[in-house]
Amino acid sequence: MSDSPNYRQQVVDAYPELQSIENDELRDRVIEAWTVGLERGGWKHIDDIPYAWNIHEVNNVEHVRGVTRIAMRSAEEQRDFHGADPDEDVIIAACLLHDVGKCYEYVDFVDDDALLVPDSTYVSEEIPHSLSGYALAHEVGCPLSVQRAIPHFLGEVPKRTLEAELVKSANSASSNAITQSAMGITLKEWVNEYSQTQE
């Protein structure tokens, strides 16, 4: 299978923020979740996954990195300025995994030449990517603190942790920047304009 993509290396190369995760086992689980998602989604390369079903000018890697960077800086402010104690490993892992479910959800929104053979058992736009991402994190054994910070749509998790709120707010900050730069509209305007509300 020498023709198969080296997904693990793609993930490591795409996300230098992985190196900021101090726990080696957690870092490996994040990489494993992405590797499994890419394989099942049938992607040739991690960079082929778009940010949104109708925004291809920015890819998902750029967005995930943006969310992670925003959350890391916010956590630093929470610690230094407010005296809070957010768990940085949880934040980084959850940010890096918050859109891993797009490996399954966005297959139908790209040209066939970006894909190998998607696994029909998993690939579907019927399940929101934040939920399939949660499922992937659970499957590979990420701790509950990371799993519960991945669902980022209103109402998906009844009780949110400090880390989960950071992921959610960083996701909104990155998404607003992307929709503004790509389409000249806010995230809320984008959601209102389009019937599908993936972010």
Residue 154: per-residue pLDDT = 56
Q: Average pLDDT, stretch 21-48?
A: 98
Confidence of residue 40 (pLDDT cuts 50, 70, 90): very high
**Mean of the per-residue pLDDT values of the chain:** 91
Instruction: List the chain domain ranges.
Output: 7-193
Alpha-carbon separation of residue 119 from 12, 14, 116 (angstroms): 23, 23, 10
Q: Which is it for the CA torsion 169, 171, 174, 176, positive or negative?
A: negative
pTM over 0.85: yes
**Per-residue model confidence (pLDDT) at position 1:** 42
Q: Tokens 């918050």 identify what position?
A: 98
pLDDT of residue 17: 98
Angle, vertex CA 13, rays to CA 60 and CA 87, nearest 5 = 75
How far is 91 from 143, CA to CA, in rounded Å? 12
- In the chain, the percentage of residues whose pLDDT exceeds 90 is 75
Separation CA 154–CA 160 (nearest Å) = 10
Average pLDDT over residues 13-31: 98
Residues 6+ apart with CB under 8 A from 95: 17, 64, 67, 68, 71, 72, 167, 170, 171
The answer for residues whose C-beta is within 8 angstroms of residue 166's C-beta and 6 or more apart is 71, 74, 75, 78, 86, 91, 149
Q: For residue 156, what pLDDT band results from cuts at 50, 70 and 90?
A: low
* Contact in structure between 17 and 96 (CB atoms under 8 Å): yes
Choice between 160 and 96, residue whose per-residue pLDDT is larger: 96
DSSP 8-state symbol, 103: H
* CA 192-73-51 angle, 5° bins: 35
pLDDT digits (tens, 9 = 90+) for 60-93: 999 999 999 999 999 999 999 999 999 999 999 9
pLDDT at 155: 57
Cα maximum dimension of the chain: 52
Please give the average per-residue pLDDT across 98-109, as a whole number. 96
Instruction: Write the CB contacts of 135 (distance below 8 Å, at least 6 apart in sequence).
Output: 101
Per-residue pLDDT, 158: 58
State the pLDDT at residue 185: 83
Question: For the residues 3-20, what does the mean pLDDT come to?
Answer: 95
Q: Quick one: pLDDT at residue 14?
A: 98
pLDDT at 198: 44
Report the CATH fold assignment for 7-193.
Hypothetical protein af1432 (1.10.3210)
Residue 190's pLDDT is what? 83
